[in-house]
Amino acid sequence: MPLTAYSISHPGELDVEQTLHRLSARFGQPYTSVGAIPEAWRAYLRDDLQCPSCFVTGAEVVRSATKMGNASRQAFFRFTTPGHRPHCDFGSPETANTVPENLVSLTESKSNLTRAVRALVCTGIEQGVFSQRSIRDMREWFFNTKVESLFVVELDPRLYPWLTALQNNASLSTGALPAGVLLTPEIAAWPQFDWRAEAARRVMERYPQYEANMKVIRDQRIFIFGPAGKRAEALTQRFQGRSVFDPTVLSDEYDKTCALANFISRNYAPLKAAKADSGTASVLAFSALLLFIRGWDVGKAISNFVKIVAAVGSANQDLGNVMGLNPFHDYEAWKILKQLQSLNIAVPENTDIEAERRVMEGALRKQFGASPMPI
């Protein structure tokens, strides 16, 4: 249930208020409120407006709402007949009156960063480098790519904390006896003997596949323990059992977009001043658009960028009332999830490695008559 919709008759994207004011001029009738839309207007909207993600028609207007005198919900569009296509970004009640994570709203320009990107988009439209139709076509390309490249999230979400716990336990075991050396009463009686390390080593012996699994993870450059890995863990839990887009089919486009975004953010003063980088969503969205319209040719995209920059400053800012697409939102996290799932690593029922190590340490101390574990 999007905040904006794409008009077929007047190619462009508008919110509810902008749409109704345009209809007022078209039909020669004053616009009073969302609740008083003439039936002729409603019929026109059902035929003319498209969902900005899956491009079905059948739009209805949902009025804004207030709570205790304050606006609690902005007016938005609902597409009920025939309804959103499967996997549409706006197909869930959760997306009502919100902007999905992979879309970038340029309607509001409250930050220096958003203003800078909005100015580039407005200038690009005014200079004829691209149009709101181009932006719409890019979203349709992405939607079709998405629905043709789905996989079901079946990865056990316990894999992430389990491997992290095993990694920490392996680090603890570095002060243990070498493999094959027996723990004797004489060694156990040594006051400085590291019981925790010895217990950690013995726990690791229970998981002989750990090193092999970690070698594959390292060889495939799966950065499970970084920020993207934490995000992948959250996505695994959130989308368990659901069909999701496989972003790895766009690896070439992703690399080119990151390269262009890095060039733009480092060479355009307003973005440098706003501390943008190649991972900034609005910069990625703008870069992807430049590449999309030029067949993903980085050189041609940079030429268009230079043309836009030379003209920045005089464009009509209303041209930026559009929803940009960042097709690579959470790309690295989804890539990690997909890679880990392909490894088919079995997770045991008991994944509490810390508790397992403490039980092992307690048993060793008891076996050799050592002092109990410190609390």
Domain-embedded: residue 281: no
Domain-embedded: residue 251: no
Same domain, 11 and 88: yes
Show Cβ contacts of residue 305 under 8 Å, excluding neighbours closer than 6 positions.
Answer: 120, 260, 264, 290
Burial of 209 (0-12, 13-18, 19+ CB in 10 A): exposed
CA-CA distances (angstroms) from residue 355 to 31, 268, 343?
67, 53, 26
Domain boundary among 71, 100, 129: 100
Domain-embedded: residue 168: yes
Same domain, 71 and 215: no
Please tell me the total count of domains within the chain.
Answer: 2
**Signed CA dihedral, 67, 72, 74, 80: sign only:** negative
Please write the tens of the pLDDT for every residue from 94-115: 665 567 888 887 766 678 888 8
| Mean pLDDT for the stretch of residues 313-335 | 85
Helix (H, G, I), strand (E, B) or coil at 251: helix
As a whole number of angstroms, the distance between CA 297 and CA 68 comes to: 53
Domain boundary among 65, 81, 100: 100
Domain boundary among 75, 100, 125: 100
Same domain, 202 and 72: no
What range does the domain containing 2 cover? 1-100
Domain-embedded: residue 310: no
Same domain, 218 and 358: yes
Domain-embedded: residue 171: yes
Q: Which of 115, 113, 375, 148 is nearest to 261 (CA)?
A: 113
What six digits make up the tokens of 362?
């307690």
Altogether, the residues listed in the chain come to a count of 375
pLDDT at 111: 83
Domain-embedded: residue 71: yes
Domain-embedded: residue 72: yes
pLDDT band at 359 (very low <50, low <70, confident <90, very high): very high
Please write the tens of the pLDDT for every residue from 135-187: 999 999 999 999 999 999 999 999 999 999 999 999 999 999 998 899 999 99
Burial 147-165 (b: 16+ CB within 10 A, else e): eeeeeebebebebbebbbb
Q: pTM, whole model, 2 decimals?
A: 0.85
Say how far residue 225 (Cα) sits from the centre of its chain: 18
Domain-embedded: residue 212: yes
Same domain, 215 and 361: yes
